[in-house]
Amino acid sequence: MLIATVLGLVALIAGLVLGWPVLVLLSIIFTVVQAIMLAAKTRRMSPPQ
């Protein structure tokens, strides 16, 4: 999961460097979704308070 988030960020940087707005947009969406899933997974695994 963390690797997928890092790959999304790499795609975002590559899109910015190469000037590909579609790649930038898709990688932003992908990275946000991965971050939400990672946060939900982390919160679910933490003990209840």
- Domains in the chain: how many in total? 1
Where do we find the tokens 């932003």? 28
- C-alpha–C-alpha distance, residues 11 and 18, integer Å: 10
Residue 25 lies in a domain: yes
User: In the prediction, which pLDDT does 37 show?
Assistant: 87
Residue 20 lies in a domain: yes
User: In the prediction, which pLDDT does 49 show?
Assistant: 61
Asked if 33 contacts 9 with a C-beta cutoff of 8 angstroms, the reply is no
The residue type of 9 is: L
Residue 48 lies in a domain: no
Domain that holds residue 19: 2-43
Q: pLDDT tens digits, residue range 7-44?
A: 778 888 888 898 888 888 888 888 888 888 888 888 77
Residue 31 lies in a domain: yes
